[in-house]
A and B are shown apart, each in its own frame.
Chain A
Amino acid sequence: MIQALVFYLLAAVTVVAAVMVITARNPVHSVLWLILAFVNSAGLFLVIGAEFLAMILMIVYVGAVAVLFLFVVMMLDVDFSSLRRGALANLPLGLLIGVVLAVELVVVASAWQAGRLAGPGAPARPTPRDLPNAEALGQVLYTDFVLAFQVAGLVLLVAMVGAIVLTHRERPGVRRQSAAAQTARSPAEAVVLARPTVGAGVDTDAGVR
């Protein structure tokens, strides 16, 4: 009973938050609604006993991805009302995507009812029931799916390198701080002690790099 109540509460809040994401006037508010939707989905994961996924959803999506969203939305000052002006023209496309998604969901649900797929992708052995989430995931991730795991890592690495290469630019004439060079300096090369005669001045470049 209580599980059903908690499920309906979390699911309702998730749906409402998701609707608010696209209807909120202020872009920052929309990102905050999105975060609420993420947190409630993590709650839904907890209800079905996938606590590891719930924690990872919180850490990765809420703690890192959504913070970056918030950063970008706050800094860019996007005028969302001008973006929304042409929304009606895109309505048929949006409806089409919605219908496709709904049909796919129905197909997946009926296929799941019919029984699981037996093929090369299916795990070789069932997961023991009493195993903690993290261990159960680790046991299949690093054995049966190690290739997929490695490929996913590689794809992420390539994306990261690509992003750096695309945005990196060498600017001439920038004075960079080199911490190693600074800490390696000794008083002998950094300080000049001079006792000038009155009116003569000091040649400051002498002895200084």
Chain B
Amino acid sequence: MVAWFQSVLGEHWGWLVAHLVLVLAIALPVMLVMALSTWVDRKVWALVQLRKGPNVVGPFGLAQPFADGIKLFLKETIIPTGASKVVFLMAPMISFVLALVAWAVIPFDAGLVLADINLGLLYLFAISSLGVYGIIMSGWASNSRYAFLGGLRSAAQMVSYEVSIGLIIICVVLYASSFNLTEIVEAQRGAILGVFNLNLLNPLLVPVAVLFFISALAETNRPPFDLPEAEAELVAGYQTEYSSMAFALLMLGEYMNILLMCALFSILFLGGYLPPIDWAPLEAIPGLAWLFAKIVLVFILFAWVKALVPRYRYDQLMRLGWKVFLPFSLLWVAVVSGWLVFSGHYGGGS
């Protein structure tokens, strides 16, 4: 497609226009899926509690997210007095844009990726570590105690769990010996007994996968780690002072980050766009469908946990992050790399 645009518009402009089109081709479906994911979230939550959930607007209530979006769009934007205006308005934009740009390196199918860069996984990690700023800026700029406390809690929590996520990622990278996401997916082809295309069946990676799932919950401020938005004590945390589109952007950024974590879990542990079993009829189904199915599966797990588990206390959250996850993931990096060298994974052996 890039070649076609370049033949029409010349080399540089063709490249630019083609990539703008590609960006839209990724961003728009991602936003649509994100809108529907809020519906899935509420439906799963309702099912656990024997309620019906959203079922009025559109078939099965499917249009509910769009109705919510239009409602927010039509509200007045309120900026609190004493707020740092520029920072206040910049914070939601930052969290939204950061959640969106991360999708540039996600491989949707073999070769179907916007930026197939060598350090894709490090790029994702860098972008997600920038995500703290949207929250900490919104918390500070609101000039409100609830928002400030929420922002501080969230920032401390994200920084703590990022450390163990980084170490967990290294375990997977050791197996694939690459930071490139496509190569990480391809390394899982027939990785288990030559038949199964998922890292999750690897006994050495199972504990890491569980740790990653829990850390992802904490990283995206989902229950049981949703202390930044703990209603009972902080109203809505860093979102307290936001209204209208600014609130919508914060909310969208949050859900997009959750979807990104689901995609990352699918790519690291569930084989990304590969079918779970290396079998010809399954290979016929396009990789995009497999990745989508896996993302939905992990997202339903996220929603399920939200409905089932009560909220942690803040000191328990910090204890879990620093005293349990960090030492364990550090130990596990040593175990995995030791095993890989011992078993001659990198060739040569010893």
Residues of B within 8 A of A133 (CB): 118-119
Does chain A have a CB within 8 A of B136?
yes
Does chain A have a CB within 8 A of B126?
yes
Does chain B have a CB within 8 A of A139?
no
Does chain A have a CB within 8 A of B122?
yes
Does chain A have a CB within 8 A of B179?
yes
Q: Are A51 and B117 in contact (CB-based, < 8 A)? A: yes
- Report the contact-size class of chain B (Cβ under 8 Å from the partner): 20 to 34
Q: Measured between C-beta atoms, what is the minimum distance from A129 to chain B in Å?
A: 14
What's the Cα separation between A64 and B148 when bound, in Å? 19
What's the Cα separation between A35 and B137 when bound, in Å? 12
Does chain B have a CB within 8 A of A153?
no
Does chain B have a CB within 8 A of A179?
yes
- Report the contact-size class of chain A (Cβ under 8 Å from the partner): 20 to 34
Residue of B nearest to A63 (CB): B129
Residue of A nearest to B139 (CB): A74
Q: Are A64 and B319 in contact (CB-based, < 8 A)? A: no
Does chain A have a CB within 8 A of B108?
no
Q: Are A67 and B136 in contact (CB-based, < 8 A)? A: yes
What's the Cα separation between A70 and B130 when bound, in Å? 13
Does chain A have a CB within 8 A of B133?
yes
Q: Are A63 and B132 in contact (CB-based, < 8 A)? A: yes
Give per-residue flags for B29-59: 1 if the beta carbon is below 8 A from chain A beta carbons, else 0.
0000000000000000000000000000000
Task: With A28-B140, A51-B118, A133-B118 as known contacts, state yes or no: A58 contacts B155, CB within 8 Å.
Answer: no
Does chain A have a CB within 8 A of B152?
yes
Does chain A have a CB within 8 A of B76?
no
Q: Are A55 and B129 in contact (CB-based, < 8 A)? A: no
Q: Are B136 and A58 in contact (CB-based, < 8 A)? A: no
Q: Measured between C-beta atoms, what is the minimum distance from A143 to chain B in Å?
A: 16
Does chain B have a CB within 8 A of A94?
no
What's the Cα separation between A58 and B316 when bound, in Å? 29
What's the Cα separation between A123 and B49 when bound, in Å? 65
What's the Cα separation between A132 and B120 when bound, in Å? 13
What's the Cα separation between A159 and B172 when bound, in Å? 30
Q: Are B315 and A55 in contact (CB-based, < 8 A)? A: no
| B→A interface (CB under 8 Å) | 12, 84, 87, 117-119, 122-123, 125-126, 129-130, 132-133, 136-137, 140, 148, 152, 155-156, 159, 162, 166, 179, 315-316, 319
**Shortest 8 CB-CB distances between A and B: which pairs?**
A63-B129, A58-B126, A55-B122, A132-B118, A59-B126, A55-B126, A55-B119, A59-B129
What are 9 A-B pairs at a CB distance below 8 A?
A28-B84, A51-B119, A52-B122, A55-B125, A63-B159, A71-B156, A132-B118, A133-B118, A134-B119
